[in-house]
Structures are given as C-alpha cells and as structure tokens.
Amino acid sequence: MFSKLLGLMSADMAIDLGTANTLVYVKGRGIVLAEPSVVAIADVKGRKHVLAVGEEAKHMLGRTPGNISAIRPLRDGVIADFEVAEEMIKHFIRKVHNRRGFSSPIIIICVPSGSTAVE
C-alpha cells in the first residue's frame, strides 16, 4: 500500500532526446516540455559554464560574442558532446521535476536503435 502511495506522488518521466528538439513526458501530465536541443556555453579562463539551455540558448545561436558558443550536443541522432548533453538533460529534469514528491522519479531516456554502448 505504501509503495502505491509513493508511486502516485512521484513524477516519473520519459525524455526523448532529439537532434533538433527534446521532449519530456511526465506520467499523468503528458508532454510538459518541448524545447530545442541547444546549450549556450561560456568559456571563462578555460572553464566552461552553462549560460542557457533550450529556447533561451536557441535565441543565442549566431548572436554570441567570442567567449560564448551555442552548441547542439546531438548530431545525426547521436550524442556528439557527452558533457554538454549531460548538462542539458540535468537542466530539463530540474525544470520539470519540482521535488514535491517523496520519492525520486523513474526516468526513461529514448535513444536511437543504432546507438553504441557508450552513448
């Protein structure tokens, strides 16, 4: 009984990583996020910092100064930049999961059938 109650309070989600857009589906709520798969990165003294993700980062494409780059971490359906893709996924999970539930969500991430074990 307790596990059923916790299951109702968790925000289980599925993430579809696309080359152009990323979709996040939350159980019981449907698709709650559909944003471009773009991350804006600032290079400050050799260290990279995430400035923006998704729609905000897409608006920066082609309009950034030299130390800021807007990156698409997925190319041709596969992950091209693992670190940036990881930051993008974390950002989208934080944006959707508001930590109101008692249990952590179960998260499923869709990947192309041709992906390697590393990806």
Rounded mean pLDDT, 28-54? 91
H helix intervals, 1-119: 2-9, 55-58, 82-96
Quick check: helix, strand or coil at residue 41? Answer: strand
Specify the pTM. 0.82
CATH number for region 2-110: 3.30.420.40
Quick check: helix, strand or coil at residue 43? Answer: strand
pLDDT on residue 10: 64
Return the minimum-mean-pLDDT range out of 22-31, 34-43, 96-105: 96-105
CA angle 53, 115, 51 (to 5 degrees): 10
Count the Cβ atoms, other than its own, within 10 Å of residue 66: 6
